[in-house]
Structure 1
């Protein structure tokens, strides 16, 4: 490729390695902080909270893995391989729950299913039961948290497995049917084994999101590693304990990331080639048709339609209670207007962080991807690989890994300036919004790399060769050729990271400056105070913003329905980002 030793190449490589170093900094910092804590803290954790965190986290992971694998795989097979009324609509609608963070569903269903909620209140009124005269499933429990996570994470499995089914050879399926195999036996003996790498990859992505979740498990009182890290850091100010818990979670997350990458690599070799013959979807019996509609419709109902209705009702109920104050008061300083002003501040803070995080993340992703493409050396590929590891690191771990070194730097600088110049510098970096933005860059770099890289991979390498023969510098090649051609990919990357930052809770909760809250933090705070109807307003805004990348994804699903499936982009990495 470009054989240049000029400053341009050095500048691009320097920017790429800087981005990679920033992405690996939290991992190194957490590891050093945990190992320097001594064995006394480790022993104390092992005797107190570590077994409980391990059991609950593993239990949550197992339930979510089974749930997302079953729903995602079954729905993908039904909409791809069978014909029933509403299939085209459900094919798109099954991706809609991606718009919701799991903690938003938790707030909606808590108000709906909890003891004072509409369901149990109606049952007591109809049946005449007292508060302790009946049994009802407890929503604030580990199974409840697993249900919320399953409803929003199964689309990871659905999208990957749907693409795998579309890429399977029609010949293999038809041959099995010609040999007398039933549709179900063919599914279990042919289709399912061929899609196994995609199933495993989607489930691992869902599991990584599960161990990174904080809002859902905190609201339901489920004690996992994420809640333990934030509780140790904020409530008990035990930094050593928080770092050691974070290291355990980090090791688990990196193992899952390695497994996901391995499965993704194997998936490239398990395809059955191009479909030389289009396979018509199978017709179902009347009973099977009803079952297919029910199986595909219930996740859409519970994961999207019902939560939207509940949040709208809760938000309207909260708004309706404020209307009399607005009408009766003639002063600007009414409670209602102050509330609106407060939400505008939360929205402004969220949008500012999301815009800054998205812009810097995409710039770094462009530099990393372009450096690896124009200068395909081992160093460039290593930098690209290192930068993508952040998607496997939970937000709480990233927050801890950035606060520890930068707090140490701020304290050392303050001590130096005070001793030598009598100047109290305070905390220059720790507690600033720019450190929060850095955490978002690390957390969502892989999402930007996936969105931009999938588009860059479709640009013919001969274009770079032509640019080189015409004397174009790497910067001009990127700015004058790649970026104009890849505007949709750049926009998609910006949109994905923007929405992910809007939804991010644990890193924001730990790192935000004093009295500087976002919509996610405000929703979590209101829900923690059991003010669920008030929490519906910021939750609705977060969900509405989350719909944007899902709309882009659904448009892509519709456009690629008739495309040769071997040419289809990765529906998760290229359209909705990496996990988290």
Structure 2
């Protein structure tokens, strides 16, 4: 009887300890899910006033938001598909002088935040900018000689040449896997080059094109900087207008829910395309390496134009446009405040990166030790966070704050959420834990499971296994994860703009505010700093692709 009692007690204690071990995961799930749940729960507060607001939006602003967002997304989808697929095919299927340079140079627009590119083109091409001033002076013209760049086509142009690398990366990987070998087999069967490309290469790349387009469209819908600066009435801009200008939290929540549904559909498309991509790619065929088709004469010029124009329009020209005011007059630049802005950005980036890596390590370790339904579910929630637009996060975090303020004024919820770093760091974690988790999981994939068994036999279990065995092998992956989160936090604009503490402007916020005030020359300095920070992950990605070849 005593033995049975001891066994029952021991089993209960063991079960209690397992449940206690799951508490951090439950808290992490709540942390990641609360903003989305609060947006969805806003529809539970449905009444006659809410219905009237929705009817008024449907009769006034909502059709404009829908039409503008749809037209912008269609233009961006076609643009990134054409530019990304053409550049990936050029550097993968063909051989020409400079191909190795273009392989990494085509990644450079990833370092450019879209709103920074918008500021650069506006500064150079606007009525009072150097281009139109020079043309009027040279040819004696009056008035505007170049169309206004701050419109819907201008926004599509900016997004296409900053987001095409999503399609370029995925299509390049898909074509490099098997396209060259299958095209060689088709050539031996007598198929001409045009037919080999149209019937062999691009059908293999279709899932990659769809996945890249979905990623680019999610970035387009989540954008606030370009839409606000260009006066484009998208859903993100409408959410901020409803909350900040109209002071209508119900309208903002309803718009945020609609945007979240569209993003969820795009995320489903991206996941479906990724599954098809893995199936289509398979494993690299054996045998001799199939060589790219060499280009000669005029074909080389075409390849240089296909690869060079995106780099020129998406990176070289915007950087040159921003360097112009720096080189023209250093005295107008806000050097005295630049250090304070940089410190705020660095501080937020470092804190968020450390917390995101810690959460990713905890989750990845639990997935490796006990991959049950709870750990897998929290991992999926973390993976979905990056797709949630910053505007939705702002509404999702401020809605419960407003409810607490109304029902419990002594709680000080508004102070803790907006006057401290709590709210902004929370938003960063919801968005960027998935970035850290992917890097940490890739590091765990290189650690054999037999190492865990050996460590347990030697008495290293639980957190000791993580600290003494896994961590020394995960340092490089954790450092890469922290760096990626740090860079993303530095460039994040929508959530930072609303949730940052008082007198804690970051480089992204200052660049937006200076550009909004038409002080584009002063906005060049923080914008270039963001570009320099964004180059770091691009360099790491380029090195990874070269080493994987």
The secondary structure found in structure 2 opposite 1:530 is coil
Match of 1:264 among 267, 274, 280: 274
The answer for the alignment partner of 1:306 in structure 2 is 317
Pairwise mapping of residues 389-538 of structure 1 onto structure 2 (< 5 A)?
389-415=384-410, 427-538=415-526
Q: 2:151 touches 2:231 (CA, 8 Å); kept in 1?
A: yes
The alpha carbon displacement at 1:156 in A equals 1.1
The alpha carbon displacement at 1:28 in A equals 0.6
The answer for the alignment partner of 1:243 in structure 2 is 253
1:93 aligned to 2:109? no
Distance change (3 Å), C-alpha of 1:176 and 1:226: same
Q: Deviations over 1:285-337 (max 9, x none)?
A: 31111000111011111111111121111233342446xxxxxxxxxxxxxxx
Distance change (3 Å), C-alpha of 1:317 and 1:33: farther
The alpha carbon displacement at 1:180 in A equals 2.1
Q: 1:523 touches 1:538 (CA, 8 Å); kept in 2?
A: yes
The answer for the alignment partner of 2:353 in structure 1 is 358
Distance change (3 Å), C-alpha of 1:9 and 1:473: farther
The alpha carbon displacement at 1:12 in A equals 4.6
The secondary structure found in structure 1 opposite 2:191 is coil
The answer for the alignment partner of 1:68 in structure 2 is 80
The aligned length equals 534
Specify every segment of 5 or more residues in structure 2 that has no aligned partner in the other structure, as ranges. 1-10
Specify every segment of 5 or more residues in structure 1 that has no aligned partner in the other structure, as ranges. 323-338, 418-423, 562-580
Q: Deviations over 1:173-199 (max 9, x none)?
A: 212112222222211111111121111
The alpha carbon displacement at 1:230 in A equals 0.8
1:290 aligned to 2:301? yes
The secondary structure found in structure 2 opposite 1:427 is helix
The answer for the alignment partner of 1:164 in structure 2 is 174
Partners in 1 of 2:242 and 2:179 — Cα distance?
A: 52
Q: Deviations over 1:117-157 (max 9, x none)?
A: 1222222122221105x5x3321111111111111111111
Match of 1:141 among 151, 154, 157: 151
Pairwise mapping of residues 321-400 of structure 1 onto structure 2 (< 5 A)?
321=332, 339-400=334-395
Distance change (3 Å), C-alpha of 1:72 and 1:12: farther
Match of 1:20 among 29, 32, 51: 29
Q: 1:447 touches 1:497 (CA, 8 Å); kept in 2?
A: yes
The answer for the alignment partner of 1:112 in structure 2 is 124
Distance change (3 Å), C-alpha of 1:448 and 1:8: farther
Partners in 2 of 1:25 and 1:58 — Cα distance?
A: 29
Q: 1:411 touches 1:426 (CA, 8 Å); kept in 2?
A: no
Could you tell me the TM-score, scaled by structure 1's length?
A: 0.88
Partners in 1 of 2:32 and 2:490 — Cα distance?
A: 20
The answer for the alignment partner of 2:544 in structure 1 is 556
The alpha carbon displacement at 1:458 in A equals 2.3
1:182 aligned to 2:192? yes
Distance change (3 Å), C-alpha of 1:475 and 1:126: same
The answer for the alignment partner of 2:3 in structure 1 is none
4+ long deviations beyond 3 Å: 3-12, 410-413, 428-431
The alpha carbon displacement at 1:238 in A equals 1.1
Q: Deviations over 1:200-240 (max 9, x none)?
A: 11111111001001101111111100111111111121111
Q: 2:183 touches 2:201 (CA, 8 Å); kept in 1?
A: yes
The alpha carbon displacement at 1:373 in A equals 1.4
The secondary structure found in structure 2 opposite 1:428 is helix
Q: 2:352 touches 2:489 (CA, 8 Å); kept in 1?
A: yes
Partners in 2 of 1:62 and 1:425 — Cα distance?
A: 41
The answer for the alignment partner of 1:194 in structure 2 is 204
The alpha carbon displacement at 1:62 in A equals 1.0
Which protein is richer in helix relative to its size?
2
Structure with larger RCO (C-alpha < 8 A, sep 6+)? 1
The answer for the alignment partner of 1:327 in structure 2 is none
Partners in 2 of 1:7 and 1:538 — Cα distance?
A: 52
The answer for the alignment partner of 1:254 in structure 2 is 264
The answer for the alignment partner of 1:564 in structure 2 is none
Partners in 2 of 1:542 and 1:5 — Cα distance?
A: 50
Pairwise mapping of residues 537-548 of structure 1 onto structure 2 (< 5 A)?
537-548=525-536
Q: 2:356 touches 2:433 (CA, 8 Å); kept in 1?
A: yes
Partners in 2 of 1:508 and 1:391 — Cα distance?
A: 15
Partners in 1 of 2:294 and 2:413 — Cα distance?
A: 73
Partners in 2 of 1:247 and 1:373 — Cα distance?
A: 34
Q: 2:435 touches 2:485 (CA, 8 Å); kept in 1?
A: yes
Q: 1:358 touches 1:498 (CA, 8 Å); kept in 2?
A: yes
The alpha carbon displacement at 1:385 in A equals 0.7
